[in-house]
Amino acid sequence: ARDYHDAVGRAMRMIADDDSIVAEGGATILRVHGVRTPRAIVLIHGFTDSPHQFAELADSLYASGDNVLVPRLPHHALRGRNVGELARLTAAELVHTADAAVDIAAGLGDTVVVVGLSVGGTLALWAGEERPEVRRTVVIAPAFEFTHVPSILERPLVNLSARIPNVSR
């Protein structure tokens, strides 16, 4: 973002886009003080969850003086849909969302911190590596690999899971 006002405008467009498609409480969250702050924090929720997962933390960070953005990941928290919608999610969509969030945060604060849980943690690591604006990342239970599976079986399991049908109850 060019400046604070551009960043807020971009975030408000994200929220407006969410309003027409997401379930109650599932939209992108923006907490801002009306000016650029020393620190802007991006919180990226986990797979199958929504920005609401970080609502209390966003409020706490905001109360301590930070501008905060919690973007909704694509295909998450959609109104009237089930978790099967997540089968359409792509890595490119996830990266685009993290990239857009860092763009916005760069206009909201002097220092950008990205915090992520699960797949959000993986995106936080990506942002820390690929975006020079990110000063610090906090990673909570990142999704790196299958657990309790011998490493020799990981790639075949990933390939198999990409080909079998999704099941949701």
Confidence of residue 77 (pLDDT cuts 50, 70, 90): confident
- Give the integer Cα–Cα distance in Å for 99 and 32: 19
Q: Note the pTM of the prediction, 2 decimals.
A: 0.88
Could you tell me if residue 148 is left (phi over 0), alpha (psi between -120 and 50 degrees) or otherwise beta? left
For the chain, report the end-to-end CA distance as a whole number of angstroms.
Answer: 41
Average pLDDT over residues 124-149: 89
**Share above pLDDT 70 across residues of the chain, in percent, rounded to a whole number:** 96
